[in-house]
Amino acid sequence: MKKLNKLGLSQFECKRIMSVYDLEEVDEIIDQINKLKETDAFKKLEKACRRLVNFVREMQNN
């Protein structure tokens, strides 16, 4: 759970994730996230997600 906390997740979110996935799966997911953070792909993914959220908000307002 310490690794999940380092990613910025709350205790509630950590417990919820740990109830769904086993420890090995969580470790693998965290390793993949950390690898993405080291590359430019993470920034591109983050930017694409923001654009998608903005697009959905605009659609809801119209």
pLDDT digits (tens, 9 = 90+) for 4-34: 777 777 888 888 888 999 889 989 988 888 8
Q: For the chain, give every domain's residue range.
A: 2-61
Range 29-51 average pLDDT: 84
Query: pLDDT band for position 38 (50/70/90)?
Result: confident
pLDDT of residue 62: 77
Tokens found for residue 14: 């950590």
Read off the pTM: 0.53
Tokens found for residue 58: 């605009």
Give yes or no for a contact between 3 and 30, defined as CB atoms under 8 angstroms apart: yes
